[in-house]
Structure 1
């Protein structure tokens, strides 16, 4: 898969995840926020909680389920990025949560979307 195709797939997966989370009552606050330490895919508000969400999208399960791509090291990096985002925006929310959404394309029909709350 080419780099451009991967980027398109990733953007599509972020769109799918964003719709799923807003349908669940969350509000998108920021998207694809970057700093020198990395990128946060989605920042959302879930009531009083600010949610930093990593989205992993795969076109097949040949290399494993998308959620398998987020382990302890990635979760730690997401916590650091969340702290940087909060500092950059001078916010102190009531609560902060790190979530992951895995989006897996299916041969037919709607993609499989799995949302895991509070990974770290």
Structure 2
């Protein structure tokens, strides 16, 4: 079955959500939108609030998936995370930014914790 990029991304986000749940993360939100940007998954890992960007690829043919999270994307995620924190009055919690790479053909998921920080 051939998937378009939107379907591929949605499939990867679903796999990443399940992956996090299996690691006992509590999923708080998916596809959270604010200020014209989006965060794929917002979860809680013990006492940390995790903002997770999911990058799904069919293979490594064009490089590693995390490389698609450039400086502009990081700034957008941080901006949206701040909006989420403000909206939900979550000022006294540790925050972390993760990237999850999903490689469909390999059946591989790579979780990069603390992939970047507030800039």
Report the TM-score when normalising by structure 1: 0.86
Change (3 A) 1:93 1:49: farther
Q: Does 1:72 align with 2:68?
A: no
Q: Does 1:117 align with 2:113?
A: yes
Report the TM-score when normalising by structure 2: 0.87
Alignment of 1:1-120 (within 5 A): 5-106=4-105, 111-118=107-114, 119-120=116-117
Q: 1 CA distance for matches of 2:92 and 2:61?
A: 39
* Stretches of structure 1 lacking an aligned partner (at least 5 in a row): none
Could you list the runs of 4 or more consecutive aligned residues of structure 1 that deviate by over 3 angstroms after TM superposition?
none
Equivalent residues of 1:43, 1:51 under 8 A apart: yes
Equivalent residues of 2:30, 2:40 under 8 A apart: yes
* Stretches of structure 2 lacking an aligned partner (at least 5 in a row): none
Superposed CA RMSD in Å reads 1.8
Q: 2 CA distance for matches of 1:113 and 1:72?
A: 23
Change (3 A) 1:36 1:46: same
Q: How many residues align?
A: 115
